[in-house]
Structure 1
Amino acid sequence: MRVLQFGDSVLPVGAFSFSNGLESAVQLGIVQDTATLEQFIGTALHQAATSDGIAVLAAFRAARDDDLGRIVDADFAVANRKLNEEMRTMTVRMGRKLAEMAEHVLGPSVCSSWLAAIRRGDAPGCFPIGQALVFSSLGLSEQDAFAVHQYGLASMMVAASLRLMRLHYLDAQAILFRVNSEAEAHYKQIASASIDDMAAFAPVMDIVASAHVKATVRMFMN
């Protein structure tokens, strides 16, 4: 039930405000139909696994060791790999909201120490780190934390697609089902990686996210 609660798409951290670059991809014609939408989301998930996903595991393991220094290192590793302003805004805004919610709901925990570091300006407060710390505090597994991280991104983008495209809601769910089937393979790929192995190379994703900054019509914050 904790996995369901903290993996829910209506978790009040503001995910509905973001599209993870999908809005510009639709405007630029990169995403036009169900096939290109699935490809775009699949690319985003692979990029997330090999970058933010590695940080999720690093922060989760650091939380189990009660090592705030390693948690902050993973936090900065995420922030430093966000190449454009809107992506940084998304991750730190959602991260801080998750930390504040965790302190209110869970009480004193490693999330509290992280939130204090954010408030002091000693940590950026990236969302994937918050997910790792919440799941560690709940005594859940790192596989659960990684799965929720990947599912949350896919769910955010699928929900955005229904507002951006002519897409049947059943087709949207079919896409979500298929892209989520890659989560186990992604976990196995990065389970032994360190934050030094983080890689987010996906040029088209970065270009469309950058184009969104100057868009004259915008539904989402990125």
Structure 2
Amino acid sequence: MMQFGDSMLPTGAFAFSNGLEAAVQTKVVHDAETLRQFTETALEQAASGDAVGVAWAVRAARHARDGENDEAMGLLRLTDNALFVRKLPEESRSMFTRTGKKLAEMGAAVTASPLASRWLELIRAGGTPGTYPVTLAVLFAAMHGDRAPAVPAAADPAAPPDDPLLQEALTVHLYGVVMGILNAALRLMRLTHIEAQALLYGLTARFDELAGRAAATPLEHMSNYAPMTDILGAAHARAHVRLFMS
């Protein structure tokens, strides 16, 4: 399960800092505490945005069978487009689709799943943007789609999803958000590996709550409202010296 949440997975994600490089350059992030705040904010944004897309894509993908269920595939494409249009900075859109396509290519080759192959065909044909969150959901459904069927989200928004597959996919997505930022931080600022692990340990305690919130959010309420992140992304795109692509 955690294989697909590893920031060193060959999808090119290691080349993106999720806005951290600009945050460090502008002194928004300058020590372990401000890094924790930045990463926790990224998790909050994911819970109301990208993770909502993961949840809806998992629900659709598990009913797509081998990509032959037109209704389920239509919902996947709808979710994919909804995620794409909510990413305003050009760098963020580029990261979204580049890593998504790479993950689709790797997933189709590794799992030999007809669903994963069908999704990759759609991306290559330009039939869908191929965002990373939806591709991640497709791979989870391709590998474990025969597990317990999806059930309605818990009444308590802070409760973890009752669906094991949905919970695992959301956990992996949130883990990837944290690790992408922390790995970038190790290259951008004075941070020890022990400090990074301490931050990771503290932030993972919120995963159940954030996954529950994402699972309980209607697709039409998905939001990527993050003005500071968008401003940092715009500043990074015009920076003269850059170690990362975002």
What range is the shorter-chain TM-score in?
A: over 0.9
Distance in 1 between residues matched to 2:38 and 2:217, nearest whole Å: 24
- The 5 A counterparts of 1:1-222 are 3-66=1-64, 67-139=72-144, 141-222=165-246
Instruction: Give the stretch that moved more between structures: 136-145 or 90-99.
Output: 136-145
- In structure 2, what residue type is equivalent to 1:164? L
Give the Cα–Cα distance (whole angstroms) in 2 for the partners of residues 95 and 4 of structure 1. 17
Structure 1, unaligned runs of 5 or more: none
Distance 1:36 1:23 in 2: 13
Structure 2 unmatched runs, 5+: 65-71, 148-164
C-alpha deviations, 1:40-99, integer Å up to 9, x for none? 010011101111101101010001111111000110111011111000000100000000
CA–CA distance in 2 between the matches of 1:37 and 1:189? 23
The alignment's TM-score, normalised by the length of structure 2, stands at 0.87
Q: Secondary structure at the match of 1:167?
A: coil
Letter paired with 1:101: M
CA positional deviation for 1:10: 2.0
CA contact under 8 A between 2:48 and 2:223: conserved in structure 1? Answer: yes
Superposition RMSD in Å: 1.0
The offset of 1:8, in angstroms, is: 2.4
With the length of structure 1 as denominator, give the TM-score of the two structures: 0.96
Moved over 4 A (4+): none
What letter matches 2:54 in structure 1? V
**Higher relative helix content:** 1
How many residue pairs were aligned? 220
- Give CA deviations for 1:156-204 in whole Å, capped at 9, x if unaligned: 1000001000111100111111112111001111222221010112211
CA deviation profile, 1:99-144 (whole Å, cap 9, x unmatched):
0001111113322221111111110010011111111111161111
2:181 and 2:83 map into 1 onto residues whose CA distance is: 20
Residues 107 and 116, structure 2, Cα contact 8 Å, conserved in 1: yes
How many angstroms apart in 2 are the aligned matches of 1:24 and 1:10? 21
Which one has the largest radius of gyration?
2
Which stretch of the first structure deviates more once superposed, 189-198 or 76-85?
A: 189-198
Q: Which moved more, 1:116-125 or 1:19-28?
A: 116-125
Deviation at residue 4 of structure 1 after TM alignment: 2.7
Partners of 1:215 and 1:46 lie apart in 2 by 27
Matched residues in 2 for 1:8 and 1:39: separation? Answer: 22
**What is the CA–CA distance in structure 2 between the aligned matches of 1:7 and 1:113, rounded to whole Å?**
22
